[in-house]
Amino acid sequence: MDYELVGREEELDSLQAFLRETYAGPAALVIQGEPGIGKSTLWLAGLEYARVQDLCVLSSRPAEAERELAQVALVDLFEDVVEDLLPLLATPRRRALETALLLDQPSVDRVDRRALAVGVRNVLELLAEHRPVIIALDDVQWLDPSSASTLTFALRRLTDRPVRLLLARRVGDGAQPSDVGHAFGLERVEGLWLGPLSVGALHRFLRDRTGGSFARQTLLRIHDRSRGNPFFALELARALQSDVDPLAPLAVPATLDGLLRARIAGLPASTQEALRLASALGTAPESLLVRAGIDLEALDPAVAAHVIQRERGEVSFTHPLLPSVLYRDLGEQRWAIHGRIAALVDDPLMHAQHLALSCRAPDEEVAAVLEAAATLAAGRGASAGAADLAEHAFRLTPPDRPGVRRPRLLAAARAHHAAGEWPRARTLATSLLAEPGSDAARVEALLLLAELETPDRSVALLEEALVEARSRPALLADIHCRLAWVLRFFDSVDHGRLAFEAAEQLDDEALQARVRAVRAILAWFAGPAAAPSDLPALARELAGAVGGDQLVQEGMLVLVNTLAPSSVRGQARTLLEREEREWRERDEPRSALARWGLAWVEFWAGNWEVAAAHAADAHDISIQYGYELPQDHLPIAVVAVHRGQLAHAREHSERALRLADELFVSRAHPPQHLATLGLVALWSGDQAAALEWFSAAERRVQEMGWREPSVRWWSADHVELLLALGRAEEALRIVDEWEADARRVDREWVLAQVTRCRGLVAAAGGEIELAASLLRQAAMEHQAVGDPYGRARAYLALGVVRRRAREKRGARDAIEIALIGFGELGAATWVDAAREELGRIGGRTREDGLTAAERRVANLVAKGKTNREVAAALFLGERTVASHLTHIYAKLGVRSRTELARKLPTS
């Protein structure tokens, strides 16, 4: 497939489970949804999966224009597979098939339909003798009637053969179901309904297809107008300009305009007139439409044509793009219509919105109403509405009132920034700087732009603001805090100290707290004697001090890495989950920051799949809000490399390094990404490249003055590589420095890794007993701090030491513990490494070492049962079944249900 299937993970799981199932007879799955929703994409993914599983796939994609042709789908399905089977058929059936498939000149004018249908049944029976058969039909509503009747006859008579029917069917627009879908009893037919894509899934879909990204509110408008339909959304996105005016309606592309107008064109003139007025409202109470002068009876033809619907006293359009087409046709009438609506509505925000749209020329009285409404909307959490109202307030402010106009322009820029419409915020802030004069609004615009630009550009903007704010201590402290953070990698001026000195001139505890937060977190990276005392407070204060939540991922590491051990990890998880819930609806960037932190918490806890989901969600929101920084990619890359998804990890870390080059004039490659690429190289078998990446990461750490040991999590792998290369002295130096830093700040989970490293050093020096003792101790220490990955690594190393000492049983026991641990984590690279070590031991394996419970689960899974079905059959929870499967896979050396079915005999 050209693109990754986005937003359909659950549906794809259901589809693959259907294709894996071993039914006693035929079964069908019908993928259903409206036009453009993605049925064909999912259907194609099913075909690709079926072929990978070595199933016999017969497919056809009927078209509406071909419905009147005879046996079109039969030719698609059987042309490539029937040749070897024809000699096995009775003569009448063979001739009927040859004629229908255009393999021979017809001997009679008409095909014997019964002989043809029986012949098709015989072919399916012969194919199914060797492997399951998949009959896949896309857009089955366009299936030609002759093929439909032949297939239905044949399928109804396949009572005990493994034949699967995979159909994709359009609903709506008068599409009729095909008889083929009714060939089996209802108990053998499953439906898979495709609903709209979520906002996040739509964002990934559009980014894949267009190669670009959209500001958050623009994306939400696309999602709203398309109703989550990927086809409509793509057409809308392609019609957008680079700088979207949020006050203008989204353009309806020509490809959709004609389709939508066709639904309206046949309606009476009075109905179309009523719809045009309704289009200015979208969804509205019927009582409001009556007050606006609309005769509700005039809407009846629109209801009958499925253009609008009337439910519970409200009128709404059946598709959100329909009012866009009608609204565009209002022309000069729109100002008067909005004025009529503004006079009728009671809600202050709705009144202000229509009042703004009714004004063609500046009007200070109206502008003041809109300014107050923008403040009200922001207080209600309606950030997009607040931004629109704030910009309308600026637009309607008379030009001869600069003292009011400039603050309103700044307020509009800030409101768009808060709403995630970052290109518009940048445009408005830049236009304020272009206006003559120097005042507080200009300094604030410089600070706002500094949050929207690259770090190097931000430094220039902040330094300009510093000059203009030299007589204002509070603003000076704020600017110095921001400069201290932006220049944290290569700061030659102690902006943190200057911020503190400016704040001390004022009796402002909140300002002083923000300054302390910046200084404390920068000091944490330098490796202080103790961790900051109030981590949650520091995390909260930091965002206000440096200009926004999306800029402070490194600060989150202070919280997460300090609270990484299991004994206190719950504190970090509880805090971050509460933050995420609290800000999910009101401040998405802040909620994304909490998810970024949760990704690290779950990574250290060994919940790698959950960690990957948090990291991906945080990354998506960051991009939608216009902030893509190297650290946005970090948890994605780190989790991926440890799960064995090396290409995925490489992609994200390489993207992060390119961003670092783009954002900083001075090279400032994040050391964690350099180290991640070292892991990719190491676990791909390229030790030389891995050493280069690890060395580069160590140099960056030295340049940045990072003495905090927990951020150098790759050190153990660097040590292991150096030992493999015979460079024990260098390895020991890294271990000694890492341990000294860890003991100084009491990072117990780092000390567990140090113990493991010392065991590896001892093993490399031939001190086998010492090595085994240290590795056993390391396993216990990893267990104590809740580090399942470190524990599995320690047991694997212990197994290798025991194998080299010819202690086969002890080696096997240790490696099998490691194998189960890696399997539960989903650490594919290490699962392979552990299996390889087991293979080197020789002798008996544990293929027959399943527990009774594991054997029961394995037998049912080998028969094709899903986890849910196994759980129901054995009265277990689904999570228990999944845990058993992890152990089964590890013990039997398999990776999938298919391999398990081949490994175990079924009865």
pLDDT in tens, 304-318: 888 888 888 888 887
Question: Higher model confidence: residue 109 or residue 340?
Answer: 340
CA 789: distance to chain centroid? 25
Mean pLDDT calculated for residue range 378-399: 88
Mean pLDDT for the chain overall: 83
Q: Judge whether residue 127 has pLDDT over 70.
A: yes
Q: CB–CB of 785/566 below 8 Å?
A: yes
Cα(52)–Cα(44) distance, integer angstroms:
12
Q: What is the pLDDT of residue 302?
A: 87
Could you tell me the two tokens for 627?
Answer: 């902030």
Q: CA dist 250 to 239, 255, 813, 825, Å? A: 9, 14, 64, 46
Q: Judge whether residue 62 has pLDDT over 90.
A: no
pLDDT in tens, 192-237: 888 888 887 888 888 888 877 777 777 888 888 788 888 888 877 8
Q: What is the pLDDT of residue 775?
A: 97
Mean pLDDT calculated for residue range 97-118: 75
Location of structure tokens 């690290």: 600
Q: What are phi and psi of 822, to 5 degrees?
A: -65, -40
Nearest one of 694, 692, 740 to 717, comparing CA atoms: 694
Could you tell me the two tokens for 15?
Answer: 């589809």
Cα(350)–Cα(363) distance, integer angstroms:
18
Q: What is the pLDDT of residue 22?
A: 66
- Segments of 247-354 assigned E as strands: 284-285, 308-311, 314-317
pLDDT in tens, 597-606: 899 999 999 9
Confidence of residue 716 (pLDDT cuts 50, 70, 90): very high
Give Dmax over CA atoms of the chain in angstroms: 104
Neighbours of 541 (CB within 10 A): 24
pTM metric for this prediction: 0.71
Beta bridge partners of 135: 58, 165
Question: Higher model confidence: residue 591 or residue 537?
Answer: 591
Mean pLDDT calculated for residue range 697-720: 91
Q: What is the pLDDT of residue 847?
A: 46
CA 283: distance to chain centroid? 31
Burial code (b: 16+ CB inside 10 Å, e: under 16) for 387-405 equals bbbbbbbbbbbeeeebebb
Confidence of residue 424 (pLDDT cuts 50, 70, 90): confident
Residue 353 is which amino acid? Answer: Q
Mean pLDDT calculated for residue range 347-357: 89
Burial class (CB in 10 A: 0-12, 13-18, 19+), 535: buried
Close Cβ partners of 35 (under 8 Å, ≥ 6 residues apart)? 170, 172, 173, 231
Confidence of residue 245 (pLDDT cuts 50, 70, 90): low
Q: CB–CB of 640/648 below 8 Å?
A: yes
Mean pLDDT calculated for residue range 392-411: 91
Collapse the DSSP code of 488 into the 3-class scheme (helix H, G, I; strand E, B; otherwise coil) and give the result.
Answer: coil
Question: Higher model confidence: residue 531 or residue 304?
Answer: 304
Confidence of residue 607 (pLDDT cuts 50, 70, 90): very high
Confidence of residue 907 (pLDDT cuts 50, 70, 90): very low
Q: What is the pLDDT of residue 849?
A: 65
Q: CA dist 128 to 30, 55, 83, 134, Å? A: 21, 10, 16, 9
Cα(708)–Cα(527) distance, integer angstroms:
4
Q: Judge whether residue 13 has pLDDT over 50.
A: yes
Q: CB–CB of 5/12 below 8 Å?
A: yes
Nearest one of 609, 517, 543, 531 to 571, comparing CA atoms: 531
Top-ranked range on mean pLDDT: pick from 182-191, 418-427, 512-521, 756-765: 756-765
Could you tell me the two tokens for 647?
Answer: 């290409």
pLDDT in tens, 806-838: 898 899 999 989 988 998 888 989 988 998 888
Per-residue HEC secondary structure of 775-817 comes to HHHHHHHHHHCCCHHHHHHHHHHHHHHHHHCCCHHHHHHHHHH
Q: What is the pLDDT of residue 171?
A: 79
Q: CB–CB of 409/372 below 8 Å?
A: no
Cα(104)–Cα(107) distance, integer angstroms:
9
Helix (H) or strand (E) holding 190: strand 189-193
Percent of the chain with pLDDT over 70: 89
Percent of the chain with pLDDT over 90: 23
Confidence of residue 630 (pLDDT cuts 50, 70, 90): confident
Q: Judge whether residue 504 has pLDDT over 80.
A: no
Q: Judge whether residue 329 has pLDDT over 50.
A: yes
Confidence of residue 699 (pLDDT cuts 50, 70, 90): very high
Cα(406)–Cα(397) distance, integer angstroms:
10
Cα(698)–Cα(710) distance, integer angstroms:
14
Mean pLDDT calculated for residue range 506-512: 79
Top-ranked range on mean pLDDT: pick from 21-25, 807-811, 853-857: 807-811
pLDDT in tens, 165-175: 898 888 765 55
Close Cβ partners of 759 (under 8 Å, ≥ 6 residues apart)? 770, 771, 772, 773, 774, 775, 777, 778, 794, 797, 798, 801
Q: CA dist 283 to 256, 380, 386, 712, 755, Å? A: 21, 20, 20, 55, 65
The full DSSP string for 356-420 is HHT-SS--HHHHHHHHHHHHHHHHTT-HHHHHHHHHHHHHTS-TT-HHHHHHHHHHHHHHHHHHT
Collapse the DSSP code of 865 into the 3-class scheme (helix H, G, I; strand E, B; otherwise coil) and give the result.
Answer: coil
Strands 314-317 and 308-311: antiparallel
Mean pLDDT calculated for residue range 391-395: 93
Q: Judge whether residue 1 has pLDDT over 50.
A: no
Cα(320)–Cα(755) distance, integer angstroms:
62
Mean pLDDT calculated for residue range 686-702: 94
Could you tell me the two tokens for 224?
Answer: 């709203």
Top-ranked range on mean pLDDT: pick from 29-33, 773-777, 812-816: 773-777
Beta bridge partners of 31: 168, 192
Neighbours of 206 (CB within 10 A): 24
Q: Judge whether residue 846 has pLDDT over 50.
A: no
Could you tell me the two tokens for 166?
Answer: 């995979």
133-137, strands of its sheet edge to edge? 56-60, 133-137, 163-170, 27-33, 189-193
Q: Which stretch of 296-305, 522-531, 671-680, 757-766 has the lowest confidence by average pLDDT?
A: 522-531
Give, as one character, the DSSP assignment of residue 198.
P
Beta bridge partners of 60: 137
Question: Higher model confidence: residue 795 or residue 180?
Answer: 795
Q: CB–CB of 884/854 below 8 Å?
A: yes
Cα(29)–Cα(52) distance, integer angstroms:
19
Close Cβ partners of 406 (under 8 Å, ≥ 6 residues apart)? 432, 435, 437, 439, 441, 442
Confidence of residue 64 (pLDDT cuts 50, 70, 90): confident
Q: What is the pLDDT of residue 529?
A: 65
Q: What is the pLDDT of residue 83?
A: 81
